[in-house]
Amino acid sequence: NSFVTLSKNDVYDGLTQGTVEAWVQWSGSGYDTIFSADSGNCLNPFELAMDNGRLAVWAGPSGCSATFNAEVTIPNPTGWHHIAYVVSATGNEFYVDGVKQTPTYVIGSAATAFFFSNAAAGATKYEIGRSVDNNVETFQGTIDEVRIYDRALTATEIQNDMNTPVQ
Mean pLDDT for 33-47 is 79
Helix then strand then coil, % of the chain, to nearest 5: 10, 45, 45
Residue 102's Cβ-count burial label (10 Å; 0-12, 13-18, 19+) is exposed
* Average of per-residue pLDDT across 54-59: 90
**DSSP alpha helix (H) spans, 10-134:** 10-13, 116-119
Lowest mean pLDDT: which of 3-7, 76-80, 102-106, 118-122? 118-122
Q: Do 90 and 16 meet the contact criterion of CB atoms below 8 Å apart?
A: no
Beta-sheet strands, E only, within 109-156: 125-128, 141-149
Whole-prediction pTM: 0.91
Mean pLDDT for the chain overall: 87
Do residues 116 and 131 lie in contact, with contact meaning Cβ atoms separated by under 8 Å? Answer: no
Residue 63, CB half-sphere, CA atoms under 13 Å: how many?
Answer: 4
Q: What is the mean pLDDT of residues 38-66?
A: 80
- Find all residues with CB under 8 Å of 62, minimum gap 6, and list them: 42, 43, 44, 121
pLDDT of residue 37: 84
Largest CA distance in the chain: 39
The answer to whether residues 21 and 83 touch, using CB atoms and an 8 Å cutoff, is: yes
- How far CA 52 is from CA of 4, 8, 27, 35, 98, in Å, comes to 23, 30, 11, 16, 21
Three-state secondary-structure class, residue 158: helix
Which residues contact residue 87 at a Cβ distance below 8 angstroms, ignoring those fewer than 6 apart? 16, 17, 18, 19, 113, 114, 115, 152
Q: Go through the domains of the chain in sequence order and give each one's CATH number.
A: 4-153 (2.60.120.200)
Indicate the pLDDT class of residue 122, thresholds 50, 70 and 90: low
